[in-house]
Each structure stands twice: as structure tokens, then as C-alpha cells.
Structure 1
Amino acid sequence: MSAMESQLADDELAASWGADISDGFIPLIDMEELQGPRRPEIVQQIGHACQHYSFFLVKNHGISETNMNNILGTTSEFFKLPEQEKLKFCTNDPNKSIKLFMGFKDEIQNVFIARESLRFRTYPFEDYVNEWPANPPSLRKDVMEYCTIVKRVEFALLEAMSESLGLEKDYIDKMLYNHGQKISMNYYPICQEQDLEFTRGVRPHTDPSIITILLQDNVPGYKVLNNCKWVDVGHIPNTLVVHVGDLLQVIHFIYKVMMNTHTHILRYT
């Protein structure tokens, strides 16, 4: 496909989303359509979003509103626990599969990172469930139910991403071979230190994962970088935000190198 043809295809995809490709546009993809005759079009949309934006929203993903409300409620309950209860999970041990990260002051930038984050491995469940917090009592059940369905969403997205590259549906999954899953439960408290220049919930960053599937509540402030500009991601009920992680970009790079090498061999043999 020529560069001009590729740009036309991009414009057509943007039109199918009902918006121009411009600053502030965040693709919203209907995953339900992956199961019907429009699958090739939706696969193309996902591939385009990964290549040009590195993030997109998905709806009709199969996670019920009840499941989402349960995990958000459980997260809120955990961070309302007494400090002493939460601090049980603070550790410097790199071998621990569950860790609590607390807010801290960046002395160099004079910034306070106002974030509490409980991160732990979830898959396979039988290997880790006994390490998860037993308080609040609903946490283990809610995490297992939510992460089970998120795993299905992940596989459906990875299949579409593989297809968007012209590969077999299970290419990325096979390449990663039985990859794990982690959950990060986050709370962003109000910073009490008034002498600082400003407060951040989290530093600007990329994720080292394959993909990150994010469920946000209705508190504003979440932003993504698009064309060197920070774009607000408004809360749309019953949607998820999908981020392309560093590892997936590495896989894509390896794939392109392999394709270029293959083309080179065909050209000169």
C-alpha cells in the first residue's frame, strides 16, 4: 500500500469513528463487533489505534456493570482501612508478589506524588490468591471474578492485534507463552503539603507490559499523551481504557524486522 493509500485508509477509519484524526481524539471501539461480520473492520480499527495512538477505549467488552462496581467498591474499601492494616503490604523485598506503594516527595522536582497503589500478581489464581489481602472480606472474590473476565478481554484484544498485523490470531499469545497477569489498585489522596510546587497522582510514564486494561471511576484528571499534547480521558460509563505497553511495541518491532529480512531474502535469492 502506498503512503497516499495508507493515509486515505486512516481517514476512512477516523470517519467510521465519527471524528477527524486530530489532537484530543480518542478511539472508541465496540468489541461486540469482533464476534460478527464486521470483525475485519474492527480488527483494522484496533490495529490503527495501536499504531497511531497507543491507546483506545473499548465498550461492550463483556464485563458487567456489577463486576466493575464491585471491584471499584472493594478498591475504595481497601484504601479506607487503617494505616496499620495497609502497611502490612509495604515491603522492599523484590521477591514479594504483592506490594503497597505509598505517596512520596520528589526532592529534585519539589513535587509530591500523591498515590497509594496496591499491586499484586493474579494469574494463575491458585499460585497467588492466598497472598492477597483478606480485608476487606470481599476483595479476593471480587478480584478473582473481575480478573477472570479481564483475561478474556485481553485474549480477544491480542487476537485482534495479531490479525491486524496479518498474523495468525494466536501469534502474540504463543510468542508470550502462558504470560501472567497483575492488578494495580490505585487511590489518589489530596496532598496536604502546601509548600510544594504542585502535586501529581503519578509521573508521566509508559507501561512495561503487553497491554494495560484500565478501569477508571468518575473522578477527573486522567490524561494520555497524543501528538505531544496531554489529552483528558473523560469517564464514559462501562468502558475500559487500553494502553499499548512497551513489550507489545517490542514484539511489533521484532515482527517488522523479520518481515523486512524476509523481503530482503526474497529480493536477492
Structure 2
Amino acid sequence: MAVTDPTVNIHYSSQVPHDQPPKLMTSIKKLAESPGITFIPPTYTYTNNPHDDLAALIDTESKIPTVDFSLLTSGTPQQRSQAIHDLGKACQDWGFFLVINHGVPESLMKAILDGCQGFFDLTEEEKQEFEGKHVLDPIRCGTSFNASVEKVLFWRDFLKVFVYPEFHFPTKPAGFRYNVLFCFFIFYTSDI
């Protein structure tokens, strides 16, 4: 028998068929902290081929790509060209990268990370204020872009904001909006 928590709104049983539409959730954090959950629900598991050996798919020699931001805005034309090429390759091959020499002070990065933690530590009721209903809402948080149509959901909670051309950002937790706005200001007023 499947056990459900109505505030999480997802089954904890492995008996949920994969072809069944995923249940809408408010928070992966809440699901992960739920008592009684002992495995990842089927709507959060995905493999290209169930017979693939995951260890064989992981390249232990690969390193997360690094992009030197200072080379994108200064340096020689050849350095800029190489940095743009590296950035494109990182996006294509990995989908993410580590940015170095960006000019954001360590203390500001820590304050923003603390703000992110504070946002995701808000109560579900407080976060509901920022749950956009449309993918183009300027402030949106949740677990999936469109859980009603996706067959496999991501094991993550997200906060998406539009900051340009108009700055949109949650008002909670206190100070988070200011720190991100300050970081945004650094990027658009610096020579880096």
C-alpha cells in the first residue's frame, strides 16, 4: 500500500507505475526530510537504458569545465576567442561550468549562498508566494517546470528570477534581494 503525505502530495511506494502522471509536489527538501521515505520515488528516477552500467557511464578523468571570466572581457583577441570557444564547449558538453576571475568578492558570494539557503529553508507557506504558475513568470520557485506533463521529474528545488531588463527578486529572506542586486550591479558596472 502506498503511503502519502497530503502536503507533499506524492506516493512513497515503489508500486507507483512509471506511466502514471507524476504527482505535483511543493518541495524536494520537504520530501527528503519526510519521515518514512526510504527510497527515491519512481517519478524521480531516469535512465536511458535500465541495463546501462552507471559506473561505466561516469568518466572519472573528466573535470568540471572552468571559464575565466576576465578573458571574456579583456586579454588578447585570441584569448577571448579561446574563452568563448571553451564556454560554448562547456555548455554543449556539460550544461554547466565553474566561473573564475569574475570579480565578485568572496564575502558577497557567501552572503548570496546564505540567502539561497535561507530561501529554501522558508516554510512551504512562505515559498508559495513565489510559486509562479507560468514558465515565464519573473519569479518562480518549485521542483519542476511542468510537473503535470513531465514523465520524469528532477530531484531538485529551484528558484528562477528575471533580473534584466527589469530586476525581479523575492523579498524573503531579509537581505537576500539586496545582495543579489549588489552582485548584479558589480557585473554591469565593472571593467571585468
Query: Which ranges in structure 2 are unaligned for 5 or more consecutive residues?
Result: 1-60
Query: Distance between the aligned counterparts of 2:187 and 2:69, measured in 1?
Result: 13
Q: Tell me by how many angstroms 1:67 deviates.
A: 1.2
TM-score (norm 2): 0.51
Equivalent position to 1:85, from 126, 139, 146: 126
What secondary structure does 1:123 align onto?
coil
Q: Tell me by how many angstroms 1:34 deviates.
A: 6.2
1:260 is matched with none
**Does the C-alpha gap of structure 1 residues 24 and 69 become closer, same or farther in structure 2, counting only changes over 3 Å?**
same
2:81 is matched with 44
C-alpha contact (below 8 Å) 1:105/1:113 kept by paired residues: no
Equivalent position to 1:117, from 158, 171, 174: 158
Structure whose residues are more often helix by fraction: 1
What secondary structure does 1:49 align onto?
helix
Q: Sequence identity, in percent?
A: 28
Query: Which ranges in structure 1 are unaligned for 5 or more consecutive residues?
Result: 1-22, 157-269
What secondary structure does 2:85 align onto?
helix
Aligned length: 127
**Does the C-alpha gap of structure 1 residues 49 and 143 become closer, same or farther in structure 2, counting only changes over 3 Å?**
same
Q: Tell me by how many angstroms 1:52 deviates.
A: 4.0
C-alpha contact (below 8 Å) 1:106/1:113 kept by paired residues: no
TM-score (norm 1): 0.38
Measured on the aligned residues, the alpha-carbon RMSD in Å equals 3.5
**Does the C-alpha gap of structure 1 residues 118 and 57 become closer, same or farther in structure 2, counting only changes over 3 Å?**
closer
Query: Distance between the aligned counterparts of 2:67 and 2:134, measured in 1?
Result: 40
Query: Which structure 1 residue ranges, 4+ long, deviate > 6 Å from structure 2?
Result: 104-108
Q: Does 1:149 align with 2:149?
A: no
C-alpha contact (below 8 Å) 1:63/1:149 kept by paired residues: yes
Query: Residue type of the partner of 1:28?
Result: T
**Does the C-alpha gap of structure 1 residues 116 and 26 become closer, same or farther in structure 2, counting only changes over 3 Å?**
closer
1:65 is matched with 106
Q: Tell me by how many angstroms 1:51 deviates.
A: 4.9
Q: Tell me by how many angstroms 1:99 deviates.
A: 1.7
Query: How do 1:1-269 residues align onto structure 2 when only pairs under 5 Å count?
Result: 24-32=62-70, 38-54=75-91, 56-93=97-134, 96-102=137-143, 111-124=152-165, 127-129=166-168, 132-151=169-188
